[in-house]
Amino acid sequence: MVKFILSLARHGESTFNQAKLVQGQTDSPLSGDGVLQAESLGHRLANEKIDYVYTSDLLRAAQTTELILQSLRTPPLDVVKEVDFRERSFGDKEGIKISEYRSFLSSEGLTFRSHVPKGGESFQEARQRVVKAFYDVCKKQVELQKNETTTTNDRLIHVLVVGHGLLFKELLSYFIEELHVEIPGGKDRVMKDSANSNLSRFEVEYAPNVTPKMVCKFIYDYSHLPEDMQKALPSKAY
């Protein structure tokens, strides 16, 4: 059995976020504000000991991760790019205006959650993928402790995952629905917009073949951002 801290950080604003385009797995870079947001998050985490970092390999997440790493006073033991932490794929709808996508859904009598774009993923498929990635992280921590590769002086191991808004919503919903984790505001809060560079944190207790026990410390916190940026948030996650 292992206990560790799990922090989930959404990437900073991307150029697609800025232009209000459906993004999905399109590889758009951080905008100027996105760089500032990622740097602010890095400054917030600077004095924390983060042992392992997992990041989506999409550019906006990888750039956010790099800016966080530049701020940390102590480098992590490992940084892993993980494809399963990519955002949900929107297939042939990526690159169009969010407003255009909403109009399409309305005209076809479809809902955001029910529609599966051509070449894209359903929300169920995206959830299965991110849940698998979560358990892979848990299993990795078991192996690391078994091999005694990490010394923490009784401090909990800290794992940071840098990823995406919609995918984290699916993961947090899984925590509530399947693991019965108490999250402030519950499912309604989880499914609301989550600001770019927001941070969520949990304490995890995991053992193989046993349902994980988790305690939510906070979700979607962006108090590290400058006040003027906070007033303009949260922003859409697509």
Residues annotated as catalytic (active site), given as ranges: 11, 87
Residues whose CB is less than 8 angstroms from the CB of residue 228 and which lie 6 or more positions away in sequence, other chains included: none
Strands 2-10 and 199-206, by their bridges, are antiparallel
- Report which DSSP code applies to 120: S
Between CA 168 and CA 171 the distance in angstroms is 5
> Helices 59-71 and 32-45 sit at what angle, rounded to 10 degrees?
40
Q: How many CA atoms lie within 13 A of 220 on its CB side?
A: 23
What b/e string do you get for 205-217 counting C-beta neighbours within 10 Å, with b at 16 or more?
Answer: ebeeeeebebebe
Report how far residue 11's alpha carbon sits from residue 91's, in angstroms, rounded to the nearest whole number: 21
Q: Which helix (H) or strand (E) holds 10?
A: strand 2-10
- The amino acid at residue 72 is L
Place of tokens 């169009």: 96
Cα 100 to Cα 104, 140, 148, distances in angstroms: 6, 42, 53
